[in-house]
Structure 1
Amino acid sequence: MNRVTFITFDGRPAVQFQRTYPHPVERVWAAVSEPEGLAHWFPSTVRMEPREGGKIEFSDDPHMYSSTGTVLAFEPPHRFAFSWEGDEIHLELATEGDSGCRLTLTNVLAAENTAARNAAGWSVCLAELDKHLTGASPEGPHSGSAEPWQPYYEAYVAEGMPSGAEIPGAPQQDA
């Protein structure tokens, strides 16, 4: 399973993942910052103005309405950050060893109780990114071939990660 850390980022709750890839920063940058690369693993279709202050649009996610955000940082090939529905997503790349790189994905949360839910979602998405970077043909995080979300969620809740937020697409519980 992908591992995640629950942290505080600029005074806000966040979940953070780190991955090391045997690929140059530029290759991973294309996968995490260009709409064509994002299409393989990101939960929404992305259109954007690739500059700080640019508009970023999200659509085609079966669990969310279409929405827009703002590009908070765009510093090729090392840093890309944007707002999304009250959250912030920060993607940072650093050279690792002779020819590899380290990706750090930080999801700064609008609400602490979304930590386990969002971490489980990113775990599925990052598994699809891993497939893409190894040359496999990922079908995306919402496909039948993607890793299941529920085991990640249950594991994160069992580990004590904050939870309780609404799960999109899940039946509503009566209070």
Structure 2
Amino acid sequence: MVIAHIKQTGETCIARFERHLNHSVEEAWSWLTENEKLAQWFPELQVGDLREGGFMQFDMGNGTFEKLEITEFGKFSVLEFAWWEDSVRFELHPLADGCDLILVEKINNITDHTPKDLAGWHVCLDVIGALLDGRAIDRTEEWKKWYERYVQAIKRIK
């Protein structure tokens, strides 16, 4: 599998991940929006209020939660929310044999943490696909494998 397509557009960096899933948009959507399923691929992230203007919440691990505003919402098609100073957008596109899942992260400031986030999103999407297929993935090993590739990719655009 290839890494995300990453490009610099003015002051913003755009990372676009694409996955084909052999499952319906409704099935895929449930993994993005139902807390019981969301916890299986991103335990720190939860749906708070699922609507445009609502929020996702991130468990900071110290007893506090950050609210991340949902900036665009279209049932079974778009879920976009703030990712602190950046944004994360999930899109689902129906196809005859399943759907395409697109994740676009808009990154306003590239930091040393950026490759970690990108490798994390890469693995999250792989885990969603595996869970839909009834398989398991070792997240830690997969993350290590992809992290160095994202470090190199970010170096190329800086």
Residue 21 (1) aligns with residue 21 (2): yes
TM-score, with normalisation over the residues of structure 2?
0.82
Residue 78 (1) aligns with residue 77 (2): yes
CA distance in 1, matches of 2:11, 2:72: 19
Contact 2:30–2:37 under 8 Å retained in 1: yes
- Change in 2 beyond 3 A, CA 1:93/1:61: farther
Residue 69 (1) aligns with residue 68 (2): yes
Structure 2: tracts of 5 or more residues without a match: none
Aligned counterpart for 1:150 among listed residues 144, 154, 158: 144
Alignment root-mean-square deviation, CA: 2.5
What's the % identity of the aligned pairs? Answer: 27
Deviation at 1:8, TM superposition (A): 4.5
Structure 1: tracts of 5 or more residues without a match: 139-144, 164-175
Residue 40 (1) aligns with residue 34 (2): no
CA distance in 2, matches of 1:111, 1:156: 15
What is the 5 A alignment of 1:84-163?
84-96=83-95, 98-113=96-111, 114-136=113-135, 145-148=138-141, 149-158=143-152, 160-162=153-155
Instruction: State the one-letter code of the partner of 2:148.
Output: E
- Change in 2 beyond 3 A, CA 1:88/1:55: same
Relative to total residues, which structure has the larger helix share, 1 or 2? Answer: 2
- Change in 2 beyond 3 A, CA 1:162/1:146: same
TM-score, with normalisation over the residues of structure 1?
0.75
Structure 1 SS opposite 2:40: coil
CA distance in 2, matches of 1:150, 1:99: 31
CA distance in 1, matches of 2:133, 2:154: 30
More deviation, 7-16/119-128: 7-16
Contact 2:23–2:97 under 8 Å retained in 1: yes
Deviation at 1:150, TM superposition (A): 2.7
Relative to total residues, which structure has the larger strand share, 1 or 2? Answer: 2
